[in-house]
Structure 1
Amino acid sequence: MLHPHKGKLSVLIITLNEERNMKELLTELAFADEVIVVDSYSTDRTKEICMSFPYVKFLENKFENYTSQRNFAMDQAQNDWILFIDADERLTPELKKEVLETIVSEHPKSAYLLYRTFMFKNSKLRFSGWQTDKIFRLFHRGKARYKNERLVHEKPDVIGEIGKLKSKLIHYSYSDYQSYKAKMVAYGRLKAIEAKNRGIVPNFFHFVIKPLYKFVYQYLIRLGILDGGRGIVICYLNAYSVYVRYQFLKEMTAKN
């Protein structure tokens, strides 16, 4: 007897106040067998926009961290194959075709890494550490689960072989300075909790050396200098995220 969900695809999206992205993104996802949005109680028009698409299943779940939210979303899926997409990401026609061909291939891997093209506003950022950016986005639901110890920049545990897709995911991560900075601060807060759970006590090394190294590494070693002013902005904000991580950790340590 054939498995009714074998070779079928569930696209999962976790959101919070993403009204500017949802219409364009969801319009592109009609090719999937199932589309699920797990929202963290947005206060903008995210819910309204999602509900206007008949093939979208909209759910609300309190956000604790990215790992728990992704695992919750996976538990709602009906199909064997999971494709996670963030609201600021877009699939090219070539990538859609490759995804569908991959999941029905004779011997698929357990999970696949997708390379991403980082967009600074509406132009491609070629360096600054993003030129080899890749992330788990496509996997067999029964062979991957996100690790609880990572609250942000989460990575699934995979049972079996890992592959890579050739077509790139378009990542519109940087729309404006304040939004990207807020994102880096949010990531820093979750990273601080991870550090606290590992028993790290912040000191001069964490406040000065680690942020400085982050900037120098991305700007010089990873050639952010070739991205001009955009490279300075991205490398600075990524280094700033490291700094605020340990500021948050310092505050949590002081309270304890």
Structure 2
Amino acid sequence: MKTGSTQKISAVIITYNEMGYIEPCVASVAFADEIIVVDSYSSDGTYEYLSGLPQVKVIQHPFQDFTKQKSYAMKQATNDWVLFLDADEVVPNNLREEIIRATRSTKPEVAYWFRRKFMFKNEHLRFSGWQTDKNYRLFRKSKVKFCQERRVHECLKVDGKSGTLKEKLVHYSYKKYGDYKGKMLRYGQLKAQQDQERGKQPGILKLLLAPFWKFLYNYTVRLGILDGRKGITVCYLNALSDLERYREYRLLRRRSGELREATSPTALSPVSE
């Protein structure tokens, strides 16, 4: 089912080693007028798989951070309406119909929030901090831009009114323990780099306590306890991201200090005349 000629949709996805995720993601956006995937030089066959799909335009582009990669990917879309997905997200049929109705509306909003249904392997994780999760996923690219000051958990600046779709996007973020752990560690590293770039100097006590607070908050206040063992696992790994942020921040500060010391006038060798 295609949209009208004046309301064409570009489905845009970024990938890196997404085999096992990307197949259902691409299949779920087959209704789009074009599918563009920007791949960060995957080594698991993702690029080769996508290259074999005639309906997909796949481009390889080096990854710096999520904001830069998504900004680049959005620019590749030829249509104004962009449906932006992560490779581990799937558009169910009911949401697909709602997306088409929204873009065909006589007075559409310029951007739409999507609520997400978080999947722990193949089971719905109902709490653990994910119950109110939502992101911008459908928007007119002429009316938005990504906030360049963020490296991870990118935000979108919207010039106009936003709406929220009723149907949920299915988010298969947790498939394997190792995959999710790696993702959380990477997020923590990017957040630390973001802190350093902004000149933020969070106190050591705050950085040390943040992981424990995050676990307790998601497990108790955000009802992770009701998710059983799944809740413990997800709350722990999300807290691990904050712990990695502290570790990476300390490492960056130390390297920065060593660099300043090495380049200071007193550290330079005297030059013979």
Q: TM-score range by the shorter chain?
A: over 0.9
Give the match's secondary structure for 1:132: coil
| Alignment check: 8 A CA contact 2:208 2:246 kept | no
| Alignment check: 8 A CA contact 1:11 1:82 kept | yes
The number of equivalent residue pairs is: 253
Correspondence for 1:211: 211
RMSD: 1.3
The 5 Å alignment of 1:16-27 reads 16-27=16-27
Correspondence for 1:95: 95
Q: Which has the larger radius of gyration?
A: 2
Output the CA distance in 2 between the equivalents of 1:253 and 1:6. Answer: 51
The 5 Å alignment of 1:185-224 reads 185-224=185-224
**5+ unaligned residues in a row in structure 2: which ranges?**
257-273
Correspondence for 1:237: 237
**5+ unaligned residues in a row in structure 1: which ranges?**
none
Residues 15-58 of structure 1, C-alpha deviations (whole Å, 9 max, x = no match): 00112222222222221001000000111111121122111001
Output the CA distance in 1 between the equivalents of 2:64 and 2:6. Answer: 31
1:78 positional shift:
0.4
Amino acid of the structure 2 residue aligned with 1:64: Q
1:252 has 2:246 as partner: no
Q: Which segment drifts farther, 158-167 or 25-34? A: 25-34
Output the CA distance in 2 between the equivalents of 1:233 and 1:142. Answer: 40
| Alignment check: 8 A CA contact 1:80 1:142 kept | yes
1:5 positional shift:
6.3
| TM-score of the superposed pair, with normalisation by structure 1 | 0.96
Correspondence for 1:139: 139
Output the CA distance in 2 between the equivalents of 1:114 and 1:71. Answer: 19
* Percent sequence identity over aligned pairs: 47
Correspondence for 2:34: 34
Output the CA distance in 2 between the equivalents of 1:5 and 1:249. Answer: 49
| Alignment check: 8 A CA contact 1:84 1:138 kept | yes
Output the CA distance in 1 between the equivalents of 2:250 and 2:114. Answer: 35
The 5 Å alignment of 1:91-130 reads 91-130=91-130
Output the CA distance in 1 between the equivalents of 2:185 and 2:132. Answer: 23
Correspondence for 1:156: 156
1:173 positional shift:
0.5
Give the match's secondary structure for 1:83: strand
